[in-house]
Amino acid sequence: MSILTQAVQIEQHGGPEVLKMVEVSVPEPSANEITIRQHAVGLNFIDIYYRTGLYKSPLPHGLGFEGAGEVIAVGKDVTRFQVGDRVAYGQSPIGAYAYVRNLPAAQAVKLPQGISYEDAAAMMLKGLTVQYLFRQTYRLKEGETILFHAAAGGVGLIACQWARALGVRLIGTASSQKKMDLALEHGASEMINYTTEDVPARLLELTDGQKVPVVYDSVGKSTWEMSLDCLQPRGLMVSFGNASGAVEGVNLGTLAAKGSLYVTRPVLGAYTNTPEKLQAAADELFELVLAGKIRLRIDQRYRLEEAALAQETLAGRQTTGASVFSLI
């Protein structure tokens, strides 16, 4: 039997006003799907890219990739989950902004008892991203120094704590003193205000002229050049987002001139594309959370009906830590 529920959808690309609450019918789960009654849904910058049309999916469509809740139905071939299980996910077909939804079972993990639905919705996409960035894209070693942009954001505050847990010196950037203080409290070793300071010059000072072997840059257009200037010869530029706009027209000669640099443009989906890889990454994240080494910082809570306000606030650089829709 299908279930009638409310979900946020867009019919066209545009500003926050295109986000509309609509009634949708969720069909019975297909053979490999589960149906989830969601308790909390995560808000991520990628949701804004889909709303504006920077990233595209056929219209009309829902929004969101991250959530947590209770399994209320399972498809006939699903063996890993049962009705009543607490589950979470950070990478799904688009459409997490909904009270009830179907999801491929391969994209969900069971949620340990010690982790709340809200915390799960604040960390599955963001925390799994930090897992692959720090443990797979470039496997950080104790004692290393890194540059991490937007360190007071949702991904950023998890990165600060994960770096501290690894014994890594994270030099972060942010746009205000309040954000810099917050990142320092969460484990950043030093902070640079990238709206007022010369980042490469300050980084050179902080590292006694050494620079860093890896830069994690999710800001994109406005930080691309400065990030390359912070890398050691043969360093790795990890460009994993576009909060200020997409990086375009890259001149490969620049990578040669700045020291035989490497560049990667990774996405979470490529690192969690099997249930085994997803589970292994989630296990590492859950272990750090259960040990108290990573505490989720949820500074903005909304109702699903407030999706426009939530996205406007995130796009306007007014948030710190994670933003979550609390549904129950």
Ligand X SMILES: NC(=O)c1ccc[n+]([C@@H]2O[C@H](COP(=O)([O-])OP(=O)(O)OC[C@H]3O[C@@H](n4cnc5c(N)ncnc54)[C@H](OP(=O)(O)O)[C@@H]3O)[C@@H](O)[C@H]2O)c1
Q: Which is nearer to ligand X, 35 or 319 (CB)?
A: 319
CB of 191 closer than 8 Å to CB of 149: no
Residue type (1 letter), 319: T
The stretch among 52-60, 103-111, 147-155, 207-215 that binds ligand X (CB under 6 A) is: 147-155
Per-residue binder mask for ligand X (CB under 6 A), 184-213, x = binder: ------------------------------
Find the binder of ligand X among 29, 187, 200, 241 (CB under 6 A).
241
170 binds ligand X (CB under 6 A): no
266 binds ligand X (CB under 6 A): yes
How many CB atoms lie under 10 A from the CB of residue 260? 11
179 binds ligand X (CB under 6 A): yes
How far CA 228 is from CA of 124, 219, 225, 233, 260, in Å, comes to 29, 13, 5, 10, 11
Find the binder of ligand X among 122, 215, 219, 263 (CB under 6 A).
219
Q: Give CB contacts under 8 A, 24+ apart, made by 203-210.
A: 203/147, 203/171, 203/230, 206/171, 207/145, 207/171, 210/145
Residue type (1 letter), 306: E
CB 94, min distance to ligand X, A:
14
DSSP symbols for 181-217: HHHHHTT-SEEEETTTS-HHHHHHHHTTT--EEEEEE
Find the binder of ligand X among 24, 147, 228, 243 (CB under 6 A).
243
Q: Which is nearer to ligand X, 75 or 93 (CB)?
A: 93
Find the binder of ligand X among 240, 286, 302, 325 (CB under 6 A).
240
The crossing angle, in degrees rounded to 10, of helices 117-132 and 154-166 is 60
Q: What is the total count of residues that contact ligand X (CB under 6 A)? A: 30
SS3 38: strand
The stretch among 63-71, 92-100, 229-237, 241-249 that binds ligand X (CB under 6 A) is: 241-249
29 binds ligand X (CB under 6 A): no
Q: Which is nearer to ligand X, 24 or 180 (CB)?
A: 180
CB of 85 closer than 8 Å to CB of 38: no
CB 91, min distance to ligand X, A:
9
Find the binder of ligand X among 116, 207, 244, 326 (CB under 6 A).
244
CB 185, min distance to ligand X, A:
15
Question: Alpha-carbon torsion 183, 188, 189, 193, what sign?
Answer: negative
Q: Which is nearer to ligand X, 26 or 322 (CB)?
A: 322
Q: Which is nearer to ligand X, 74 or 289 (CB)?
A: 289
Q: What is the DSSP letter of 16?
A: G
Distance CA 314, CA 4 (A): 30
327, two tokens: 């549904």
For residues 43-82, which are near ligand X according to CB under 6 A? 44-46
317 binds ligand X (CB under 6 A): yes
For residues 92-131, which are near ligand X according to CB under 6 A? 125-126, 129
SS3 218: coil
Q: Which is nearer to ligand X, 33 or 118 (CB)?
A: 118
SS3 50: helix
Q: Interface residues with ligand X (CB under 6 A)?
A: 44-46, 125-126, 129, 150, 152-156, 174-175, 179, 218-219, 222, 240-244, 266-268, 314-315, 317, 319
